[in-house]
Amino acid sequence: MRMILVGPPGAGKGTQAARLVDTFLIPHISSGDMLRAAVKEGTALGKEADRYMKAGGLVPDDVVIGMILERIAKHDCAKGFMLDGFPRTRPQAEALDAAMTKAGVALDAVVLIEVPDQLLEERAVHRRTDPQTGTIYHLKYNPPPADVSARLVHRADDTKEAVEKRIAKYHSETAPIIPFYLEKGILKRVDGVGDPDTITERIKAVLNS
């Protein structure tokens, strides 16, 4: 299975990916997680990415395209992968398409998790992540257990101001990839409002249909 999870910031892509990889036994490749790891390590790529990410902007296409195409060429992706957060612009979608055609493989599905804008800000601003396990919590909807609370991380781009910019960027830069995949006949729309278990079942249902 070669698939992509698309959706606005806070739609639940990371939450759902963590649940789905166990079913499909494919690597979860999050461009956001890879960029945050580069920022933490202080690499040249991380330093460049940090400027854009903090402000809620997008990292330049050439940087992200190189990073992801290199990652999916690795051995563990030979039988499939789940991309989360990439592609995020039309040039990224076209670059992925060209690389996969060259490699003689094709995407099976693009799952679009749809959540209205008015729910996204609250989801992102109150998100907390466990740096040790990668588990994503929400202070209200998925509260962390008391013994991990002290080590949880609040992402630098989960401020109200940055989230508003990220939502605007989603509509201007990422939404245009939807018709690209619609034309290919592989776009699957999923309602992202409801409890996470229900949404996982909805995604599995569209992938099996």
Instruction: Answer yes or no: 13 catalytic.
Output: yes
- Residue nearer to ligand AP5 on the CB measure, 23 or 104: 23
Q: In the complex, what is the shortest distance from the CB of residue 53 to ligand AP5, in angstroms, rounded to a whole number? A: 4
Q: In the complex, what is the shortest distance from the CB of residue 82 to ligand AP5, in angstroms, rounded to a whole number? A: 12
Identified catalytic residue from 2, 13, 36, 202: 13
Instruction: Answer yes or no: 88 catalytic.
Output: yes
C-alpha span between 14 and 100 (Å, rounded):
23
Side-chain half-sphere CA neighbours of 134 within 13 A:
13
Q: In the complex, what is the shortest distance from the CB of residue 55 to ligand AP5, in angstroms, rounded to a whole number? A: 8
Instruction: Answer yes or no: 127 catalytic.
Output: yes
C-alpha span between 135 and 145 (Å, rounded):
11
- Residue nearer to ligand AP5 on the CB measure, 32 or 187: 32
Write out the residues near ligand AP5 by the rule CB under 6 A.
7, 9-15, 31-32, 35, 52-53, 57-59, 64, 85-86, 88, 92, 123-124, 127, 136-138, 141-142, 157, 166, 194-196, 199
Strands 109-114 and 136-138: unpaired
Q: Nearest-CB residue to ligand AP5?
A: 32
DSSP H or E segment with residue 111: strand 109-114
Residue 153 β-bridge partners? 129
Identified catalytic residue from 90, 155, 165, 189: 155
Instruction: Answer yes or no: 123 catalytic.
Output: no
- Residue nearer to ligand AP5 on the CB measure, 80 or 135: 135
**Phi, psi dihedrals of residue 190, rounded to the nearest 5°:** -130, 135
C-alpha span between 39 and 132 (Å, rounded):
17
The residues near 194 (Cβ < 8 Å, ≥ 6 apart) are 202
Active site residues: 13, 88, 127, 155, 166
